[in-house]
Structure 1
């Protein structure tokens, strides 16, 4: 396959093979590929909100310190290949196509032998492991796709550090109906004898994490964001003081203080595990981190913010940031969500800030909720809503409605934010 054919192959699998949790298919697939994942070391990150930000902080610091670091994240906003990177370089089109060809040949043999067809995420994860092994990474930062214990990424054995960001109610149909049940699944990434860093969780989740850590003989460090102080802030970034040191962070959002504290604790543990970074390297890495789409300003007049508030916990965080930065401002929303998310809760937590709401449907995604259906639900809470035909139409309408002092906020699914950013930059 060439690159275009390999992408079409993945898109076809996405449409035809539903997401599943379980490691049986992944074990068979990786065994037939020679188990490349067993030759690598990992920081494995699970939780509900903040995984990508914590990985971005760690990636920036460790790569800046000279380590050859692999990063696997999803979804990505601006480049599909950006989900698999090594020290700042995305997987090449040629390598991706070659690995997809290799994996597809193995899958053909698997299905001929009676095994079920792997999902798109399992295939992408397999490609990532092949890529990271070829690159001979010192360490791989690996983001869980969903849950933890049965996620395709959890086939790994050499977890040096398991990181658990904030855990809240999400993917309940897969993970459970209580916070304790969800925490049990997410803490399934903890391996015997590894180290654990967790954000300070709600009590029912914290109890589960501490119990599972004990059961695996895994020393657990709690990263408590209340120990950090915000010295200055704006919607363009913030400076925090933590344990006597000051850190500049070019990411807005009230939740980024917690993510930075989790990352700093993870770096302290990695110091002890042989991946040491100097104090100035930590500061420089946080100062230069790049992680777009999380309360990110993409235009200043009028102010245009994009944010991946796609579940109730993320909606709480976005609402807190709106209160913090834009109290009293006239706000226009552009909103698009996936049908399988708890979008009604997202609506309830956010719509009261908006003067006008424009709904869109995320293009080319079978999970996307139609704009009309979303507008109908929004209208139950705020009547000033209008369904738009395209993202471009929504952006143009938002700019026509907004004065220079107003704020446009686009949020919901992360999958449309890259396209929206391109549209805004080219207007």
Structure 2
């Protein structure tokens, strides 16, 4: 029956166009929510004065308006990752390890490389345009209809954070790996109250206009993700930064552990996974400990033991690290006319590592 086949084809084409239009509309509306100068100035003020600021109250309000009170958000099991350098790649490796063990994962990161839907992933895959559009309009409409005054809407990053939490809760993920946007203390992701495991990657000077101009100030902002009773892991830091992290951990009764060097790990059954860049080795070690700390808590009825560290890498861990894809970081694209080297370095230290990576690959 060729007529039926043609009819189905036309319906599929129309549906495809509808989804495309819904997605384009979603992106257009999202872009209209960009933070303005006044919003950024307010964030700077509150971080410098050490206040929790209105971000958390605003975030709670946005979540409630979309049907997610904090009591419901508490049901989401999260690994929260802050830091200056490598928090994206660390989060990606952590998520990949958990997926290799068979857990259903959610992953929220920023910024995106090509399309905004990359920021919210399920089982390692960015939301499709259709799924992104569906969730976007559901959340946007709920917020728009409950405005108390004109413009009572979350800004770009806050909106995506609300949307991500809605996605992860509705999809019933086993664990969500959530990367902090900027800082930690007043970052919108810090609305999370019950976080079993947090990680802090290498610290350096970034977003100094917002977070402060010294390493201790930066460390204090990042340490804001530490919460009473959670397990915190970090890499070796500069002395002045480490002192701030340790003091914060002590103040909130949050055990802080420095992860071992990647070179110290043993491998099961003769497996091997060579990682060339020192920065990636450090990120990989942090990802390993974060993933396994969460799994221990999951398998032991929420019993937390900060003294346990993974020393031998299982097959699943190696597969998770090996199969992790994080485009835009130490990324080589081969073309018919040459090689393109891509990296999103944004600090002095990251640029130095990027230059070394480029030099090593061009020898």
TM-score by length of structure 2 reads: 0.79
1:267 aligns with 2:291: yes
Question: Unaligned 5+ residue runs, structure 2?
Answer: 1-20, 44-54, 301-309
Aligned match for 1:299, one of 320, 334, 341? 334
Q: What is the Cα deviation at residue 179 of structure 1?
A: 0.5
Whichever structure has more strand as a proportion of its residues is 1
Question: 1:151-191 deviations in whole A, cap 9, x for unaligned?
Answer: 11111112111100001000011101111111111111111
Q: Partner residue of 1:23?
A: 56
Contact between 1:199 and 1:223, CA under 8 Å: does it hold in 2? yes
Q: What is the Cα deviation at residue 112 of structure 1?
A: 3.1
Aligned 1:348-387 pairs, distance under 5 A: none
Between the two proteins, the alignment pairs up a number of residues equal to 312
Q: What is the Cα deviation at residue 18 of structure 1?
A: 6.4
Aligned 1:96-115 pairs, distance under 5 A: 96-109=132-145, 111-113=147-149
- What is the distance in 1 between the residues matched to 2:106 and 2:118? 11
Q: What is the Cα deviation at residue 81 of structure 1?
A: 1.3
Contact between 2:96 and 2:321, CA under 8 Å: does it hold in 1? yes
For the residue of structure 2 that corresponds to 1:255, the secondary structure is helix
Specify whether residues 107 and 216 from structure 1 end up closer, same or farther in structure 2 by C-alpha distance, changes over 3 A only. Answer: same
Question: 1:197-245 deviations in whole A, cap 9, x for unaligned?
Answer: 10111111111111111122211110243xx33xxxxxxxxxxxx3223
Aligned match for 2:125, one of 70, 89, 103? 89
1:53 aligns with 2:89: yes
Specify whether residues 95 and 275 from structure 1 end up closer, same or farther in structure 2 by C-alpha distance, changes over 3 A only. Answer: farther
Q: What is the Cα deviation at residue 15 of structure 1?
A: 7.0
Q: What is the Cα deviation at residue 272 of structure 1?
A: 2.4
Q: Partner residue of 1:243?
A: 265
Contact between 2:66 and 2:143, CA under 8 Å: does it hold in 1? no
For the residue of structure 2 that corresponds to 1:196, the secondary structure is strand
Q: Partner residue of 1:352?
A: none
Q: Partner residue of 2:17?
A: none
- What is the distance in 2 between the residues matched to 1:168 and 1:183? 8
Specify whether residues 114 and 177 from structure 1 end up closer, same or farther in structure 2 by C-alpha distance, changes over 3 A only. Answer: same
TM-score by length of structure 1 reads: 0.68
Specify whether residues 254 and 298 from structure 1 end up closer, same or farther in structure 2 by C-alpha distance, changes over 3 A only. Answer: farther
Q: What is the Cα deviation at residue 110 of structure 1?
A: 5.1
Contact between 1:40 and 1:139, CA under 8 Å: does it hold in 2? yes
- What is the distance in 1 between the residues matched to 2:150 and 2:86? 39
Question: 1:318-349 deviations in whole A, cap 9, x for unaligned?
Answer: 123234444xx6xxxxxxxxxxxxxxxxxxxx
Aligned 1:302-321 pairs, distance under 5 A: 302-321=338-357
Runs of 4+ in 1 over 6 A off after TM superposition: none
Q: What is the Cα deviation at residue 291 of structure 1?
A: 1.1
Q: What is the Cα deviation at residue 146 of structure 1?
A: 0.4
Aligned 1:130-209 pairs, distance under 5 A: 130-209=166-245
- What is the distance in 1 between the residues matched to 2:234 and 2:253? 15
- What is the distance in 1 between the residues matched to 2:126 and 2:119? 8
Specify whether residues 195 and 293 from structure 1 end up closer, same or farther in structure 2 by C-alpha distance, changes over 3 A only. Answer: same
Whichever structure has more helix as a proportion of its residues is 2
Q: Partner residue of 1:234?
A: none
The alignment yields a C-alpha RMSD, in angstroms, of 2.4
Q: Partner residue of 1:401?
A: none
Contact between 1:148 and 1:154, CA under 8 Å: does it hold in 2? yes
For the residue of structure 2 that corresponds to 1:205, the secondary structure is helix
Q: What is the Cα deviation at residue 121 of structure 1?
A: 0.5
Bigger relative CO (Cα 8 Å, ≥ 6 apart): 2
Q: What is the Cα deviation at residue 80 of structure 1?
A: 2.3
Question: 1:61-113 deviations in whole A, cap 9, x for unaligned?
Answer: 11121101100011222432121111133223333223322332343345434
For the residue of structure 1 that corresponds to 2:186, the secondary structure is coil
For the residue of structure 1 that corresponds to 2:27, the secondary structure is helix
For the residue of structure 1 that corresponds to 2:34, the secondary structure is helix
